Amino acid sequence: MRTGLLLILLALLLAACAGGDSGAGDPAEAVERYLQAKIAGDADGVRALLCSAKEADLDMEAGSFAAVEARLEDVDCQRDSDTDVVRCQGKIVATYGTEDLDFPLSAYRVVLEGGVWKWCGEAG
Amino acid sequence: MAFVKVLLLAGLALILAGHPATAQETPLETTAHRAAVVYAGPGDSYRQLAVLRPGNAVQIIERNSVGNWLHVRQEDRNGFVKLDGWVMIGYLNIPAALRLSRLAANTELADADPSAVNSRSLAALYAAPVISPISEAMRGVYALGQQLGNHSDVVTKVGDSLTFNPMYLEPMSDPRYELGPYDYLEDALRYFGPSTAGGSAAARMALATYVIFDPMWADKTLCRPGESPLDCEYRRKRPGVAFILFGPNDARHTTREKYTEQMGKIVTETLNRGIIPVLSTFSVHPDDPYWWQAIELNLGLLDVAAEYDVPLINLWAAARPLPDYGLDRDKVHMKNSGFTYLKFSTGHESWYGTSLRNLLSLKMLDEIYHSIILEADA
């Protein structure tokens, strides 16, 4: 009985130690979803994944690609070990008239807010 | 006493003799090289008086402040005036001897006659001068810029593809320039011209008023992480003057309220850095499905210029009499002359939107140079 209780406690401890963001999902995936929402002009999607420090930029973020048709190409985002930086490869391609404009992706800061990873601007 | 009179008369004679040095001694004659509409004033909103046929000689009487409209007159053998009105310079064979610095500028006539325009919106837009006066407030901005280490002789550009166009502003850096009759612009061209080479990090295709603050649109080879195109350009160049034009993209998805709010932010950011912002209305083709929205944004821009007391070029009004409103076949972008250097010797500014915009921008720089920079330096 005592051994069983200890095992349960140990399991709970291990679960807790596995990281506070275990239910928050993958920060790299959050960045990819954010980029997708941004180029689509999906204001709700952008709002859901934009950190509170950038709330004032919501209109700009959601309207940034409104004048063009944009898509993501060859996107691969990875978190820099346990840092708050997600580094992305690939690019946004925006079609304006008959021309394609390339926007190479870079490194972005992420923060955990309300148990959800959120995009928080470019990383310096 | 008689000696004093002689001295006074001699002095008066000297003054009178000296005066013509700043004015054309005798009116120059010229002809139109193609049929030219003669207007009652220097703008297409004025009443059309007649058509000047090619080959018919006229005298050049005076010019508008820029010099792209000339007041011409034709008399018969008996001295009766047959024709008296204004023509765009590009329709005339420009005499080699014509120097606009020596031709009187008519500052009484406005650039347009809004009373002749039957749309209130268009009349309001016409009412703004093509080149606004430089306000006293800009002296303070210039002084702030000097304190912050800005370069008074550096000019940059901020905007969408109309402004990104390498044929806008950048030709001022080419030493092969041909000012033609616009000799009075040479000082400003020599002062600011070299700084226009190399484009701008804040001018890019598809840019809109929102996007100029978005770091994702910044050129990563020039700008720092997290830096917006506007911040990046102002940090890199530390300019004294910035030409700003947004609208053609905004008209497709932005309301007038949002546009003026964003333009206000851009102007505020520019003023806070001690940079003189020069705003510009934009040309729009009546066939454009967003015509009225574009007119609304242009009117909003007049409000922004008035609110912040900043210089404004009314490119919309100035481009109206040009073929296709100065626009290219896509009816959005301004038409280029094909020359990569400034060429005002053959009247391109009456035919090509980009040439006209370059001329008006240089004229505005001339105003800033003489009314602010030279005065401050003195």
Q: What is the tens place of the pLDDT at every residue in B256-267?
A: 999 999 999 999
Q: Does A36 touch chain B (CB under 8 A)?
A: no
As a whole number of angstroms, the distance between CA A1 and CA A110 comes to 44
Q: In angstroms, how far is the first alpha carbon of chain B from the final one? A: 40
- Return residue ranges of chain B for CATH 3.40.50.1110: 120-377
Model confidence at A22: pLDDT above 80: no
SS3 B299: helix
As a whole number of angstroms, the distance between CA B199 and CA B169 comes to 9
Residue among B332, B323, B328 at smallest CA distance from B350: B323
As a whole number of angstroms, the distance between CA B7 and CA A118 comes to 86
As a whole number of angstroms, the distance between CA B318 and CA B67 comes to 12
Give the E-state strand segments of B40-117 in sequence order.
Answer: 48-52, 57-63, 69-75, 81-88
> B51 — phi, psi (to 5°)?
-120, 125
Model confidence at A84: pLDDT above 90: yes
Taking CB atoms and an 8 Å limit, are B217 and A103 in contact across chains? yes
Query: Predicted confidence band at A15 (pLDDT cuts at 50, 70, 90)?
Result: very low
Neighbours of B378 (CB within 10 A): 5
CB-CB neighbors (< 8 A) of B249 in chain A: 67
Give the E-state strand segments of chain B in sequence order.
Answer: 29-31, 36-39, 48-52, 57-63, 69-75, 81-88, 151-159, 239-245, 276-280, 312-313
User: Which residues lie below 8 Å from residue B98, measured CB to CB, with a gap of 6+?
Assistant: B24, B28, B30, B60, B181
- List the single residue in B205, B214, B216 with the smallest CB-CB distance to A96: B205
- Give the model's pLDDT for residue A23: 60
CB-CB neighbors (< 8 A) of B209 in chain A: none
Of the candidate ranges A95-99, B168-172, B214-218, B244-248, the one whose mean pLDDT is the lowest: A95-99
Model confidence at A79: pLDDT above 80: yes
Q: Which residue has the higher pLDDT, A11 or B109?
A: B109
Query: Predicted confidence band at B27 (pLDDT cuts at 50, 70, 90)?
Result: confident
**Domain spans in chain A, listed from the N-terminal domain onward:** 24-122
Quick: pLDDT tens for B271-302.
Answer: 999 999 999 999 999 999 999 999 999 999 99
Residue A95: C-alpha distances to residues A26, A39, B168, B206, B218 (Å): 30, 11, 23, 9, 17
- Give the model's pLDDT for residue A97: 84
Query: Predicted confidence band at B209 (pLDDT cuts at 50, 70, 90)?
Result: very high
- Interface probe, candidates A34, A46, A96, chain B, greatest B C-beta count within 10 A: A96
As a whole number of angstroms, the distance between CA A88 and CA B220 comes to 14
Which residue in A has a C-alpha nearest to residue B210's C-alpha?
A60
Fold of B2-116: SH3 type barrels. (2.30.30)
Residue among A103, A94, A88, A83 at smallest CA distance from A21: A83
**ipTM of this predicted structure:** 0.82
- List the single residue in A64, A68, A97 with the smallest CB-CB distance to B216: A64
As a whole number of angstroms, the distance between CA B372 and CA B378 comes to 10
Query: Predicted confidence band at A66 (pLDDT cuts at 50, 70, 90)?
Result: confident
Q: Which 8-state DSSP code applies to residue B70?
A: E
| Distance (Å) from the alpha carbon of A4 to chain B's nearest alpha carbon | 53
Quick: pLDDT tens for B133-188.
Answer: 999 999 999 999 999 999 999 999 999 999 999 999 999 999 999 999 999 999 99
Q: Which CATH class is domain B120-377?
A: alpha beta
Domain A24-122 has CATH 3.10.450.100: yes
Taking CB atoms and an 8 Å limit, are A107 and B225 in contact across chains? yes
| Distance (Å) from the alpha carbon of A11 to chain B's nearest alpha carbon | 42
Question: Model-level pTM?
Answer: 0.89
Which residue in A has a C-alpha nearest to residue B218's C-alpha?
A103
CB-CB neighbors (< 8 A) of A38 in chain B: 216
CB-CB neighbors (< 8 A) of A124 in chain B: 224-226
> B233 — phi, psi (to 5°)?
-65, -45
As a whole number of angstroms, the distance between CA B42 and CA B312 comes to 18
Model confidence at A13: pLDDT above 80: no
- Give the model's pLDDT for residue A39: 97
Residue among B274, B299, B248, B279 at smallest CA distance from B134: B279
- List the single residue in B214, B226, B252 with the smallest CB-CB distance to A60: B214
Taking CB atoms and an 8 Å limit, are A106 and B220 in contact across chains? yes
Taking CB atoms and an 8 Å limit, are B215 and A107 in contact across chains? no
Q: Does A59 touch chain B (CB under 8 A)?
A: yes
Model confidence at A20: pLDDT above 90: no
CB-CB neighbors (< 8 A) of A101 in chain B: 204-206
Interface residues on B facing A, Cβ-Cβ cutoff 8 A: 161, 204-206, 208, 210-211, 213-217, 220, 224-226, 249, 252-254, 258, 330
Q: Does A115 touch chain B (CB under 8 A)?
A: no
